[in-house]
Amino acid sequence: MSEIFKTLDSLPRASFMSDPTPIAHLDNLSDQLGIDLWIKRDDLTGLGFGGNKVRQLEFYFGAAEIAGADTILITGAVQSNYVRTAAAAAAKLGLKSVIQLEDRVQGMDQTYATSGNVLLGRLLGADYMYYADGEDEGGADKALRARADVLRDAGHTPYVIPLGLDNPPLGALGYMDAAREIQKQTPKYDAVVLASGSGATHMGLLAGLRCLGVNTPVYGSCVRRSATFQSARLNTLKQKLGTLLRCDLPVEPDDILVWDGALGDAYGKMNEKSKTALALMAQREGLFLDPVYTSKSFAGVIGLVEEGVIERGMRVLFIHTGGSPALFAYQNVLGMD
């Protein structure tokens, strides 16, 4: 499968990461859960508070540079890590950023609307626009493209980073590359667990491992959709990623593993499982998870152990995808006001 990575390496890419992120052993949680638990610290990818989106955005910004863009447009939830990181990447490259915020999480307070990632985006100099429907990816992308047309008419060269599944999944390439990084760092694992939202991180890592001949199960903890709908999304991403790389990826239907036991009521809504996971990581290991993604993905580790899917004594890698700035927007939800 080396030809697939040759194709990946030939694609345009900006450089935001200088070093591999560390993998560390979680001694206390290993003892508590009865497994050999390790953590991949992709919260330490560096740019703009880090997180998994740094890897994904290298390929989008590479394409934007080739296009001669002077403005980046991106859409996401109010407390999106993706849009915050894109604004940081744009600032680093001397580009303007336009952030569209979607109303995905109902019933939140003013702290949610103004702090955390929103505050950081403003500090990074981003312009903001708003889209009322949080469950309309096609409409959100259309609104961005309409704004891009206005900018183009004014003499700018905009580049849209899209959200919908009908677009080439450039972001997934970042985690195909991360699979190579992980393989070089450590011995094999019995299981990998990560958050599964847009699916780019999940499918990218899964496809990368399979292309390397690594058959470790990769479990995605659902943060936005039920397991049924997320599985369908991941299958579509597999096809799109294969088209992008001009190959048939060695990912079988049985390789797509999702768990929605901590999903709760909706995207961005915390529940007892995610609150417990967030507190446990902080109080046992001194590490911070975020309310939307990693608290639910670490709840997936706990849940899969409790269900016997991950057996006692197994060597498990948990992917920490970052997102800690959003903690400040959830102050009241966490009962710490």
Q: Please state whether beta strands 96-102 and 23-25 pair in parallel, antiparallel, or not at all (unpaired).
A: unpaired
Grouping H, G, I as helix, E, B as strand and the rest as coil, residue 96 is strand
Closest CA to 174 of 2, 14, 41, 295: 14
Q: What does DSSP assign to residue 34?
A: T
Catalytic residue among 30, 80, 221, 324: 80
Closest CA to 89 of 116, 57, 120: 57
Angle in degrees, 0-180, between the axes of helices 227-245 and 2-10, rounded to the nearest 10: 80
Closest CA to 56 of 86, 91, 22: 86
**Cα–chain center distance at 275:** 19
**Cα gap 73→294, rounded to integer Å:** 26
**Cα gap 208→192, rounded to integer Å:** 13
Taking residue 145's Cβ as centre, other Cβ atoms within 10 Å add up to: 13
Q: HSE on the CB side for 106, CA within 13 Å?
A: 5
Asked if residues 323 and 292 have their Cβ atoms less than 8 Å apart, the reply is yes
Residues in a beta bridge with 75? 100
Verify whether residue 80 is a known catalytic residue.
yes
Residues in a beta bridge with 73? 98, 160
**Cα gap 83→81, rounded to integer Å:** 6
**Cα gap 12→60, rounded to integer Å:** 8
Catalytic residues: 80
